[in-house]
Structures are given as C-alpha cells and as structure tokens.
A = this chain, B = another copy of it.
Amino acid sequence: MKAYSKYKQGLLDNSLEHRSAIRNGSYSGTTSGLAPGFVQGNVVILPSAYAEDFYKFCHQNPTPCPLISVSEAGDPSMPALGKDLDIRTDIPEYLVFRDGQVAETLTDLTSIWRDDLVTFVLGCSFSFEDALQSAGIPVRNVDSCSNVSMYRTNIPTKPAGPFKGDLVVTMRPFSPKDAIRAIQITTRLPKAHGAPVHIGSPSLIGIRDLSKPEFGDPVDIYEHEIPVYWGCGVTTQVALEGAKLPFAITHVPGKMIITELLNEELSVL
C-alpha cells in the first residue's frame, strides 16, 4: 500500500466518501465542487480493438485529451487513481454508445461489463477551476452553480484511426487581469487541459453565439470581460460519435470519476 502523508490521508477520506456515495447509489449528480483538491477525470471506455487508435488520438491531441491513466483490458480497477476504485460503479452516470449514438444512460456498468474493455481517464477542467479559485479568481460557472459552457469549434483534431472531429472548448469569462492570471495558472496544469487555446472573439474559432453553448449552460458575460477558451474532454465524445464504434461508454458530462490524485500532484512548475 502506498504510504500517504498525514495531510493527504486527511483529504483522502473526503475523496473516498464521495466515491462510496456514488457507488452505493446515494448520489448521482454532477461532481463539480466535490472532493476539492482531488483530480477528477473524463472517462472513455472502449473495446481493446480500438485502444491503440485511441491512444494515438490522445497523444496527437493532448490539450483536449490529457491522458492520466489507462486500465488493463477487462480490469475495472485503476489502482493508480484510487485504492479501491471500480470504474463500473464509481461514476454517477454513464452514457452507453452503440454505433456512434447514445443508446442508454446507466448508473452502474456491472451488467454490461466485458473482458475486452479498456478505460481511458483524461484530465478535466475541474482541476484548474480549483486552482483558479484557490488563487482568488472567481469562476462564473461555479459561482452561478451551472455547468460550464461548451462549444464545438471549427478547429479540427488530428485524426487517429476512426477517431476524428472538431475540437470542443469550454469558455469562462474573466476580467483582463484575471484572464492573464488564469493563463499563468492553467499553464502549470497541462494534465488538466493546460493553457487556453484561444481568448477573445468567438467567431475566430467558429463559435457563432456564446449565449448558445452546444453543451452545458450559458453564463453571463459582463462588459469588458474577455472570454477565455480551453480544450475540453467532450472533444472525445464528438470523436466517438465520428468513429461510430459498435460499442463505447463515457461518463455523462459533468459527472466525472473522482480520483485520489491531488491536483497539485499533476501540477508542473
């Protein structure tokens, strides 16, 4: 067993507590704001026949798809992310894709688990929202208790095998001063999408109307605020639609896997 510092052990109880509540079905909401300080992940579960191509897709598109951990085929545990973590039960809600379409949502994968499934866990912007707030920078979607605004852009990802599609970004508005600071802070977190991919004019990256995000909720943008855009893990869901795999599973956006890694453990610099 990994020896944790006392500091981390104290925090861990919080991570475990939330994962237990999700596992036993007593919580199935979004995980935003839960277990502060801990890395949450985007999850993509695929038959092993597609694993190599998906590895390649993540490698070629590290900003939307920062790979944190990959399971052994058929193994629902991911000890690097949590001692007792079971990927079949520890996410509040799953999307099951069949032939590129969402076929059903489930809160437990046990009944449909297969021996050839490989789980990819990718970093998530919740980690950097935590870092921004720790630095005293208000995050609009958090403060307004809404899901972050997400948009399809006209920036193509680099395709790999069947996986292709345009980049999806999240957008958060900031004062100019906070925008500068947010760029600095998120640069330190390449495994949580890193620095923004764009600032300012939405039309430059193919976004027509900031008040109509394709995923998540719209947020207010005040005068003189600058929209700041980051790569988003939902890019993988668009790539999954494009790939039209016979079978794949992801988390419902906003309902992530809570790990036992600290955000600061992923931070560079």
A binding-site residues for B, Cβ under 8 Å: 176-177, 179-180, 183-184, 187, 195-201, 204, 224, 226, 269
Give which listed residue, B176, B184, B187, B200, contacts A224 with CB less than 8 A: B200
Instruction: Please tell me if the beta carbons of A198 and B183 are within 8 angstroms of each other in the complex.
Output: no
Q: List 24 A-B contacts (CB under 8 A).
A: A176-B198, A176-B199, A176-B200, A176-B201, A177-B197, A177-B198, A179-B199, A179-B200, A180-B183, A180-B195, A180-B198, A180-B199, A183-B183, A183-B184, A184-B184, A184-B187, A184-B195, A187-B187, A199-B226, A200-B200, A200-B224, A200-B226, A201-B224, A269-B269
Nearest-neighbour CB distance to chain B for A15, whole angstroms, equals: 30
Q: How far is B177's CA from A89's CA once the two chains are assembled, in angstroms?
A: 40
- Residue contact B184 to A204, C-beta cutoff 8 Å: no
Bound: A199/B195 CA distance, A = 16
What is the CB-to-nearest-CB distance from A156 to chain B, in angstroms, rounded to a whole number?
Answer: 16
Contacts of A195 in B (CB 8 A): 180, 184
Smallest beta-carbon distance A17→chain B, Å: 37
Query: What's the Cα separation between A195 and B180 when bound, in Å?
Result: 8
